[in-house]
Amino acid sequence: EAGVAQSPRYKIIEKRQSVAFWCNPISGHATLYWYQQILGQGPKLLIQFQNNGVVDDSQLPKDRFSAERLKGVDSTLKIQPAKLEDSAVYLCASSLAQGRYEQYFGPGTRLTVT
Amino acid sequence: AQSVTQPDIHITVSEGASLELRCNYSYGATPYLFWYVQSPGQGLQLLLKYFSGDTLVQGIKGFEAEFKRSQSSFNLRKPSVHWSDAAEYFCAVGPNNNDMRFGAGTRLTVKP
């Protein structure tokens, strides 16, 4: 079974530029999550989708971050414009459904904002 | 509000020695508790989880954890560490499997 795929793996941009990350969850997984992991910290949930609907985006900085999952499968996370403090690893995870189902994590995208 | 504290930022143990990683949580009800491992350049992998029942939980790779409600702790243990166990370990707490709060992590170094 293929795992969660993310691209790109690494990205370096200048502040005020925009960037987009892509995630393809495990086939058949209805729930998709985006996390931000700043160096030295644990992952922080940014947004959770159930199929193509948003379940929780309470910690997403909506003035600059956006995410979509239009067809209920793959998802994109965008930052526009980026700030220095956005430097982090962005992790995507998926689970079969909400509730007691395990989350499976992708390898992450390491973003450096200069 | 739920929160997780991992008191040890970095731990070094010798290969073959026993290991205990500490995790303390703050949560208003009976929590769901998790331990994840993250190897360099890889995503997080679930080691074990506690929802209810037996407070001693067995996980993958020879790890176990014990839920102690009176101490608000969920410490991770392994009787004999292997060099391949070197990684970052995260404890997480939540009301379910979806809304987890992670600790800051403990980095494990294994000496030959």
Q: Cβ contact (<8 Å) for B97 and A101?
A: yes
Q: Tell me how far apart the 2 most distant CA atoms of chain B are, in Å.
A: 42
Cβ-contact B2, B27 below 8 angstroms: yes
Query: How sure is the predictor about A75, in pLDDT bands with cuts at 50, 70 and 90?
Result: very high
Of residues A4, A42, A101, nearest to B102 (C-beta): A42
User: Measured between beta carbons, which residues in chain A are less than 8 angstroms from residue B39?
Assistant: none
- Three-class DSSP category at A48: strand
Chain B residue with minimum CA distance to A36 = B102
- Residues in chain B closer than 8 A to A106 (CB atoms): 43
How many percent of chain A have pLDDT more than 90? 88
Q: How far apart are CA A106 and CA B43, in angstroms?
A: 5
- CA A34 vs CA A37, A45, B5, B91: distances in Å: 10, 6, 22, 18
Q: How many CB atoms lie within 10 A of CB A100?
A: 13
Q: What is the pLDDT of residue A24?
A: 97
Residues of chain B with pLDDT under 50: none
Closest residue to A40, CB basis, from B51, B90, B104 = B104
Rounded to a whole number of angstroms, the distance from the CA of A10 to the nearest CA of chain B is 10
The pLDDT score that the predictor gives to residue B99 is 80
Q: What is the pLDDT of residues A24-73, one digit of tens each?
A: 999 999 999 999 999 989 999 999 999 999 999 999 999 999 999 988 89
Record: contact B97-A100, CB cut-off 8 A: yes
User: Cα–Cα distance between A13 and A19 in angstroms, integer?
Assistant: 8
Alpha-carbon span B53 to A49, nearest angstrom: 30
A56 and B99 within 8 Å at the Cβ level: the answer is yes
Q: Is the pLDDT of residue A1 over 70?
A: no
Would you state the pLDDT for residue B95? Answer: 79
Angle at B43 between CA A53 and CA A75, to 5 degrees: 25
Chain B residues in contact with A33 (beta carbon < 8 A):
98
Q: Is the pLDDT of residue A100 over 80?
A: no
